[in-house]
Amino acid sequence: MTARLIIGALFMVGLWALVAKRNLVKKVFGLTILNSAAVLLFIVEAGGSGDGAPIMGGGQRIVDPIPQALMLTAIVIGVCVTALALGMAYRLYKATGSMDIEEIRKRLGNG
C-alpha cells in the first residue's frame, strides 16, 4: 500500500512535468518519469509473488515472470520514445528559436 502510494506520487510528478512545465526538455523528463513509474509499479507488485528470480533450477518458488518480460520491452521502447521526442523538440527549437512552449505557440502564429 505504501509502495503503491509512493509510485502514484512519482507518476503525478511525471504528469506535473508534462502538463505544467513550459520547457520542452522538462516535458520529456516527465515522459521518462511516467515510464519509470509504470515499470516500478509492475516490478514491485510482482516482486511479492515468490522467493527467487524466474530462472529454473534454483529450487525456490519463482516470482511471476510475465510482468518482467513486459517491462523489459517497455524500458527499451521508453528510451526510443525519449529520443524521438527530443528529436521533435530539436526540430521545434530550430524552427522557432525557443524552448518555451508558449513562446513557440506565439511565434508559430497561433498565439
Partner 1 sequence: MTEAMLLAILLLSLYAVESKDLLYGTIALSGVSLLSSLLFYILKAPDVAITEAAVGAGVSTVVYVWAIKSMERNEPL
Partner 2 sequence: MKARTPSAQVLTAVLCIAAASFALWPLATLDEAWPEGIRDYLESRGQDESGARNLVSAIYLGYRGYDTLGETIVLLVAVSGAIGMIGAAGSKLAPGYADAAQGQVPVAKPTRRVHRRTELIDVVTGKLGPVVLVFGLYVMLFGHVSPGGGFQGGVVVASGIVFLGMGSKGAGLSPLVGAGTLARIEAAGFLALLLAAGLGIVSGAGFFAPPLRGVSPVGYIVALNAVIGLKVGAGIGFLCIAMLGETER
Residues forming the site for partner 1 (CB under 8 A): 2-3, 6-7, 9-10, 13-14, 16-17, 21-26, 28-30, 32-33, 36, 39-40, 43-44, 46-47, 50-54, 62-63, 68, 71-72, 75-76, 78-79, 82-83, 86, 89-90, 93, 99-100
- Check if the beta carbon of residue 34 is closer than 8 Å to that of residue 11: yes
3-state class of 52 per DSSP?
A: strand
> Which positions ≥6 away from 8 have C-beta within 8 Å?
37
- Check if the beta carbon of residue 8 is closer than 8 Å to that of residue 34: no
Q: Choosing among partner 2, partner 1, none, which partner's interface includes residue 110 (Cβ < 5 to 8 Å by kind)?
A: partner 2
C-alpha cell at 89: 523538440
Which of 43, 51, 106, 108 binds partner 2 (CB under 8 A)? It is: 106
| Residue (23 or 107) nearer to partner 1, CB | 23
